[in-house]
């Protein structure tokens, strides 16, 4: 079912545009920009709404721009490149406020404008690409007479787990990311090294990950679907010769059904076990921090905005020299160590043992002895005995995954009644749900969105909570 003459009114949740269908139903449209008049293809019909995608732009919005990337229509990684960046960031800020007010019934007098990213492109420090012997073909390629290679190194086409869109230039990571990737794909094709066949689970070249630091260190992680043999190992050596900025190169043979590296044994083929990201102090009297990033480490993918996010959290927390701070869902301890610049004691808790080991190493590396970390399931480990061991906190920082905090953790925070909570979230919807419960004993004092992921609908938000009648 196709419809034409549809005017897109505003942005909605998860990057869709809101429009009115001719029959009065609400229409959720992907691929549009507020103000566009479009024809759409209906993908799903529900009782009160349609889900649709833009088929053709009949009248372009003033906010619509020409995408930088030629792959954006099919890739899905930069779903907002067709919209002016200032409009993108404003839409994200509005989405945060709408989620908090509509779903969390949050009352807050200090809802601040979103902090936009200084660089809407080339901001990512980590990218993952997949090899495939079955490249996604365009309509012109399908019907053309030219014989073309089906080898691909790029991203999964949305909705097709076994089809890869070959990427010439990705604008999310700085160079030489594209040069490294294209070199590997072209050399592998010339040398006859097989690409991954996901349905058969055969092929030598499976995935490629590139990590980088702001001072130009690069890490390459290759997954082979089969033993690489002499040709595969020679390819790795030739990549190192062509790109001396690669200071760490790992590989693994992965015969599993999925591409996850976290349960694989990785082999360090060349160089250092880690690359090191430096975070200069942005506060008076603070100290610079450095973090070792391994192939399995979590680190914010936008390091510039990560520092800005942590600064906002630190400033809102109002930490003083004698304060005890809890950092829930601490990960590798980046936020905890940032808070340690002011706090007397910081205690981080995290469920992943490898992450806590990394947090301990990061603390030692930075000479920080007043930050300690514990492994534990947050629902069970964050209990009275934890509080007895470490003392009652003056400030709680919580930065949970997209699903938000478990109800038992929310209940524990309500019982704990720390004077202040700083809640950092990458999902305004689950944050709104949790904040609504916390409002029983807390006032939501400040809300500060931060755009960590330009060209996408994703957004981070920081909320400051004060204990009522404290």
- The whole-angstrom separation of Cα 436 and Cα 103 is 8
The sign one gets for the Cα dihedral 25, 30, 35, 38 is negative
Residue 302 near residue 452, CB atoms below 8 Å: yes
Q: Angle 155-157-163 (CA atoms, 0-180°, nearest 5)?
A: 85
DSSP letters, 80-147, are TTTB-HHHHHHHHHHHHHHHHHHHH----SEEPPPB--S-SSS-BSEEEEEEESSBPPPHHHHH--S-
Catalytic residue numbers read 426
In the chain, % helix, strand, coil (3-state, to 5) comes to 25, 30, 40
CB environment 382-411: b (16+ within 10 A), e (fewer): beeebbeebeebbbbbbbbeeebbbeebbe
Residue 75: closest CA among 5, 22, 152: 152
């Amino acid at each position: 079912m196709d419809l034409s003459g549809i005017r897109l009114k505003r942005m909605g949740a998860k990057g869709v545009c809101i429009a009115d269908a001719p029959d009065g139903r609400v229409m959720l449209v992907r691929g549009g920009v507020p103000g566009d008049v479009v024809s759409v293809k209906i993908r799903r019909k529900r009782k009160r709404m349609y889900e649709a995608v833009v088929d053709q732009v009949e009248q372009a919005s003033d906010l619509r721009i020409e995408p930088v990337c030629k792959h954006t229509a099919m890739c899905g990684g930069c779903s907002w490149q067709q919209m002016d960046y200032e409009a993108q960031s404003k839409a994200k800020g509005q989405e945060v406020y709408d989620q908090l007010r509509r779903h969390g019934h949050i009352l807050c007098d200090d809802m601040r404008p979103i902090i936009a990213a200084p660089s809407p492109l080339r901001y990512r420090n980590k990218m993952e690409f997949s090899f495939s012997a079955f490249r996604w073909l365009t309509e012109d390629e399908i019907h053309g007479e030219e014989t073309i290679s089906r080898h691909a190194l790029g991203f999964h086409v949305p909705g097709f787990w076994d089809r890869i869109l070959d990427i010439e230039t990705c604008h999310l990571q700085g160079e030489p990311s594209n040069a490294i990737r294209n070199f590997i794909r072209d050399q592998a094709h010339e040398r006859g090294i097989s690409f991954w066949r996901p349905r058969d689970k055969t092929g030598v070249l499976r995935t490629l990950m590139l990590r980088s630091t702001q001072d130009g260190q690069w890490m390459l992680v290759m997954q082979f679907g089969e033993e690489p043999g002499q040709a595969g190992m020679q390819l790795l050596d030739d990549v190192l010769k062509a790109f001396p900025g690669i200071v760490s190169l790992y590989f693994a043979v992965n015969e599993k059904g999925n591409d996850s590296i976290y349960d694989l044994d990785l082999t360090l083929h060349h160089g250092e076990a880690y690359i090191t990201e430096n975070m200069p102090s942005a506060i008076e009297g603070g100290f610079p921090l450095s973090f070792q990033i391994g192939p399995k480490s979590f680190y914010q993918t936008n390091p510039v905005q990560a520092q800005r996010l942590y600064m906002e959290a630190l400033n809102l927390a109002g930490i003083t020299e004698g304060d005890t701070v809890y950092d829930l869902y601490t990960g590798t301890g980046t936020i905890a160590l940032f808070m340690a610049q002011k706090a007397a004691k910081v205690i981080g808790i995290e469920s992943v043992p490898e992450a806590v080991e990394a947090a301990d190493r990061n603390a030692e590396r930075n000479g920080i002895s007043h930050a300690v970390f514990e492994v534990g399931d947050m629902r069970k480990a964050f209990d009275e005995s934890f509080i007895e061991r470490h003392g009652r906190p003056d400030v709680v920082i919580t930065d949970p995954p997209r699903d938000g905090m478990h109800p038992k953790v929310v209940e524990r925070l309500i019982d704990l009644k720390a004077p202040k909570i700083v809640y950092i979230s990458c999902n305004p919807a689950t944050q709104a749900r949790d904040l609504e419960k916390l409002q029983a004993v807390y006032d939501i004092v400040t809300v500060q969105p931060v755009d960590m992921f330009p060209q996408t609908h994703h957004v981070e938000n920081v909320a400051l909570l004060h204990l009522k009648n404290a």
